[in-house]
Amino acid sequence: MQRFLLAIDRLNTFIGKLFAWVIVILTVAICYEVFCRYALRAPTAWAYDVSYILYGTLFMMAGAYTLSRNGHVRGDFLYRNWPPKRQASVDLVLYFLFFFPGILALIYSGWGYFKLSWMLNEHSSFSPDGPVIWPFKGLIPITGVLMLLQGVVEVIRCIICIRTGAWPDRLHDVEEMEKLILDEAANKTDAEAIGRGAL
């Protein structure tokens, strides 16, 4: 089971890290627009379209990756003090009450939104020569499917935690600064206690 969980984590990690490069393209495009606007006094017609399409792409395609890392925002001031079984029980209820209905609605409505845009060969109306935007809208149902897959993995993790009393392992590639500081403080306190005990 753990291999399946980590396989979905790896898939969403690959996609999230691949699309993270969009931030470089977005930065270059915006810098070019600023240079043209202020140095050459010749702003581009495509800057607004490019900025919202690239930012939207980055935002959507990072969602499943963030969920795989347990990185979405939550009210941690209560949650972090609960035992793992209570955390998993609350998470499980919330996944079925809010997450899955929202994601299924995203997939359903996103598909219709994309399909209509594709049939009309929709172009952006924000600039004179607006780019084709149906590929961008096609990311909506794709994001929904990736989030749904990751949500299933998270539900399985909740069930395992409820049964065993401990969260199963997940992939990690970054640590929050708060966690690093707390771990460092705990290690320092342990080292001081050992030092005092040796005296």
Per residue in 107-163, pLDDT (tens digit) is 999 999 999 999 999 998 887 778 899 999 999 999 999 999 999 999 999 999 999
Burial class of residue 16, CB neighbours in 10 A (0-12, 13-18, 19+): buried
Angle at 67 between CA 62 and CA 72, to 5 degrees: 90
Enumerate the H helices of the chain as residue ranges.
Answer: 2-20, 22-38, 47-61, 63-68, 76-79, 84-94, 100-120, 134-164, 177-198
Q: pLDDT at position 55, please?
A: 94
Please name the amino acid found at residue 122: E
Q: pLDDT at position 174, please?
A: 64
Which residue numbers in the chain have pLDDT < 50? none
Locate 165 and state its tokens: 């009393």
Q: pLDDT at position 186, please?
A: 72
